Amino acid sequence: METHERIKNFVQQVYRIDIARQKRTINYVQARAIYFKLCVEYTNMSIVPIAKTLNRNHATLLHALKQFDVYLRFIPKFKENYNFIKGAFLENEMFPHRDKRMTMDELIIKYNQLIIEVDSLRGKLEQCKNCSCGQCVS
């Protein structure tokens, strides 16, 4: 499987859409922007062939890249999705022959469990800071 196809699969799994569809809703636009950004960074393809993989022209790709930093700066969920997809893609590239691989759904579940655990630990830490029992760390 080509690198751009692996990137496309990661993006489509996270967004649960077909990014090649002719749709202009924000989740399609943002998913394609992530796809274009990662393809430019991690493939040897030039701009026109990358755009053609989604039946788009080079101007669409250039516009998506131009908007990418805006999305990254002002849309927290976009930044979270981009970092997640990039991390999953790079992990797959570095360790392609692992016997046990987690699916994207398993990674999402594990990620959410870790967020809940971190929130719980932060709450306990705040309780310890406000405690006067002498046993808690302040």
C-alpha to C-alpha distance for 81 and 103, rounded to whole angstroms: 16
For the domain 3-97, what is the CATH code? 1.10.1750.10
In terms of DSSP H, where are the helices of the chain?
A: 3-15, 26-42, 47-52, 58-74, 76-94, 104-130
Domain boundaries, the chain: 3-97, 102-138
* pLDDT 10s digits, 32-89: 999 999 999 999 999 999 999 999 999 999 999 999 999 999 999 999 999 999 998 9
Query: For 45, which DSSP code?
Result: -
